[in-house]
Amino acid sequence: MARKALQAIGFDPSSSRVSLASRPLAFSAVSEHPPRDVQTATGSFEGNVVVLESETGSGKTEAALWRFARLFEAGEVDGLYFALPTRVAATSLHERVSKAVETLFPDPAYRPAVTMAVPGMVAPTNDQQTGTELCGSPDLTESPADMRSASMWASEGPKRYLAGTIAVGTIDQVLLASLNAKHAHLRLSALARLLLVVDEVHASDAYMASLLGNLLAFHRRAGGHALLLSATLGSNARDSLLGTPRRSVPFEQAVAAPYPALSSNACPDPLAQPGNGRDRTIAIQLDTRIGDPAAVAGIAIKAAGLGAKVLVIRNLRRDAIKVLEECKLAGAQDLLFKCGGVATLHHGRFAREDRRALDRAVEGAIGLKRPAGGTIVIGTQTLEQSLDIDADLLISDICPADVLLQRLGRLHRHDRGRRPAGFEAPRAVVMAPNDLAGLYHRGEHGIGLFQSNGQSTPYPYSDVLAVEATRQAIVDYPSWEIPIMNRLLVELATHPEARASLLDRLDPSGGWEESDAIVTGRGAAYKLQAGYAHLPFDSAFDDQAVVMSDDPLSTRLGEKDLLVQFPERLPGPFGSPVSSIAIPHFWMRGLNGLDEPVPTEIRRSTDGFSFQFGSSRFVYDAMGVRPEK
């Protein structure tokens, strides 16, 4: 009875393993495309912790699924956790993983459930019915329906996410296993059974990277397997994640490392892999009108008017909204991306019910099977992660080189026989200020710091020197050879020798030395905070050595968003009812002291609704949630 119960909830996947082994395992089970050499090599590469570095769009997701299938069939792992940097990216990838699982396990009776490991979200079941919250524990001796219900047991709460067979979620759910907090050992022991895949591993800040490094060290020693995916990983970060002794690799040697490449704890030096992908030469143009949304809109409208699919990625949501508004003022409504027939944009401040609809609409408008005709898709960083986008022209705000390479991966992503005239070759326009000096203290456009509640809060790209290194790289190399130059571009922004050289060339009066010192000090402080927060894996498990913290510990620094739950589902801007919305911490003015903050004064409108929350009023419509003006 106990084994039957464990099999039903997915903790014991033996029946699924037998089903997988009943037919020859082929790469076609995880991808409709023939395998690339680097994907095949990933499936059998030696080591418990493996790093796959390959360009965006080269099939890293399929390579990860192939490694999982090989390890699962061999009994090396009992499942898979696919970790992504954001909820939006996890929601998008869940559908892709679910489809692969359907092919790997064609018999529904032996098909493991794919848990949506995002708090507040329950994924559809394998028979494609709309998922709902499960209540109670089913009697596993009753009917097949009860067994299917039991298979969703791991979806019922965050503490259970890692106890199922397959889950797709945020990196936070994994990092919670490394914190000195309640239930950490439950998460940790459940994770030890799984292949941990961390996508966009370069996206972590110093605090999260330290937590991840500590977790990977334990996972490796416990015999677990992990696969780390990145298009743009610096040499220092790679050594740290693999747990190899820290090496001072000279800049020239770091740049000369092969790409694409595989490395592991067993083979720490990157090994070259045949890159039978596509080489691209991208013309990069700097435009200093980053603060002029009308200018950005003008570039996009002109290109879309010529039939191009235009992707506009801004560092901040408010700047993206301004470009959309300028497009409307210019009479370009028909060229704008639409969801449910409503002109909109793509960012992380939409209700969870609408995010999936937006993902599907974006891929339909500008993805592999895009229709003919010009279209302008405007958004933020959510457009650079886990979406199959194929733009003819990219317009991007300036950002660090590793992030810009991610965005460039959405430009000319697929081979096409024909593209609109004038866009046959990939081209990107990068919007940047005239001068980045001083932005660390007076940040703007997502760069540097901003003031929130009297405190300095980092923008997405607070390392201004890394952004300046990217700007210099565009000046020095107006054409980027991708992926040949990937190593060079990333190391120019991250390698200590390259950063020191850049500081020597910059005007001292610009405050660059001070800015870099502050960034370095902040990174050291983040690592120190992570050291206090993570479990002491080198200490014996007893009351004296391991004392669980009563203080709330977090996988990310900074204040958390607050989830607003509505008393009833409200009509959203795209036709789906909305039950809750996340409010960022920097908008939570006037909520201190409220025991149970609830939305009040809810007013419906033709394109959404508004509500009072604390002392602030918010509106939710096709632009997302934002404070009411």
Count Cβ atoms within 10 A of the Cβ of residue 6 and give its class: 0-12 exposed, 13-18 middle, 19 or more buried: middle
**Mean pLDDT over residues 479-483, rounded?**
94
Q: Decide if pLDDT at 476 tops 90.
A: yes
Query: What pLDDT does 390 receive?
Result: 95
Q: Decide if pLDDT at 550 tops 70.
A: no
CATH code of the domain occupying 2-272: 3.40.50.300
What share of the chain in percent tops pLDDT 90? Answer: 54
Q: Which of 77-91, 462-476, 589-603 has the highest mean pLDDT?
A: 462-476
Query: What pLDDT does 336 receive?
Result: 98
Query: What pLDDT does 203 receive?
Result: 65
CA 323 – CA 345 distance, rounded (Å)? 10
The DSSP code sequence of 501-538 is HHHHHS-GGG-HHHHHHHHHHHHHHHHHHHHHHB--TT
**Mean pLDDT over residues 311-322, rounded?**
97
CATH code of the domain occupying 280-435+470-475: 3.40.50.300
Please give the sequence-ordered ranges of beta strands (E in DSSP) within 56-101, or none if there are none: 79-84
- How high does pLDDT run on average in the chain? 86
Between strands 427-431 and 280-287, the pairing is: parallel
Q: Residue 556 in 3-state DSSP?
A: coil
CA 3 – CA 621 distance, rounded (Å)? 49
Query: What pLDDT does 147 receive?
Result: 44
Q: Decide if pLDDT at 85 tops 50.
A: yes
The pLDDT confidence band at residue 193, using thresholds 50, 70 and 90, is very high
Query: What pLDDT does 131 receive?
Result: 35
CA 350 – CA 390 distance, rounded (Å)? 23
Between strands 562-571 and 375-379, the pairing is: unpaired
Query: What pLDDT does 572 receive?
Result: 94
The pLDDT confidence band at residue 441, using thresholds 50, 70 and 90, is confident
Hey, do 2-272 and 280-435+470-475 end up sharing a CATH topology, with the first three levels equal? yes
| pLDDT tens-digit series, residues 27-42 | 999 998 899 999 999 9
| pLDDT tens-digit series, residues 153-177 | 666 677 888 888 999 999 999 998 8
Query: What pLDDT does 22 receive?
Result: 86
Q: Decide if pLDDT at 261 tops 70.
A: yes
Query: What pLDDT does 549 receive?
Result: 54
Structure-model confidence comparison of residues 273 and 140, the more confident one? 273
Q: Which residues contact 109 (CB under 8 A, 6 or more apart)?
A: none
Long-range contacts at 443-452 (CB < 8 A, ≥ 24 apart): 444/291, 445/290, 445/291, 445/314, 445/315, 445/316, 445/319, 445/397, 445/398, 446/314, 446/315, 446/316, 446/319, 446/397, 446/399, 447/315, 447/398, 447/399, 452/586
| pLDDT tens-digit series, residues 229-243 | 998 788 888 888 998
Q: Decide if pLDDT at 571 tops 70.
A: yes
Query: What pLDDT does 535 receive?
Result: 82
Least confident among 146-150, 217-221, 548-552, 607-611: 146-150
Q: Which residues contact 95 (CB under 8 A, 6 or more apart)?
A: 356
**Mean pLDDT over residues 60-68, rounded?**
95
| pLDDT tens-digit series, residues 323-336 | 999 999 999 999 99
Please give the sequence-ordered ranges of beta strands (E in DSSP) within 317-453, or none if there are none: 338-339, 342-343, 375-379, 393-397, 427-431, 449-452
| pLDDT tens-digit series, residues 98-143 | 999 999 999 998 899 898 888 766 554 444 333 333 333 333 334 4
| Residue boundaries of the structural domains of the chain | 2-272, 280-435+470-475, 562-627
Query: What pLDDT does 215 receive?
Result: 92
Which residue is listed with tokens 């997302």? Answer: 624
Do the Cβ atoms of 516 and 448 come closer than 8 Å?
A: no
| pLDDT tens-digit series, residues 377-396 | 999 999 988 788 999 999 99
Do the Cβ atoms of 410 and 388 come closer than 8 Å?
A: no
The pLDDT confidence band at residue 9, using thresholds 50, 70 and 90, is low
Do the Cβ atoms of 597 and 591 come closer than 8 Å?
A: yes
Query: What pLDDT does 57 receive?
Result: 81
Do the Cβ atoms of 219 and 226 come closer than 8 Å?
A: yes
Q: Which residues contact 357 (CB under 8 A, 6 or more apart)?
A: 339, 340, 574, 576
Do the Cβ atoms of 394 and 429 come closer than 8 Å?
A: yes
Closest CA to 626 of 345, 396, 382: 345
Query: What pLDDT does 138 receive?
Result: 38
**Mean pLDDT over residues 338-349, rounded?**
95
Do the Cβ atoms of 92 and 61 come closer than 8 Å?
A: no
Count Cβ atoms within 10 A of the Cβ of residue 110 and give its class: 0-12 exposed, 13-18 middle, 19 or more buried: middle
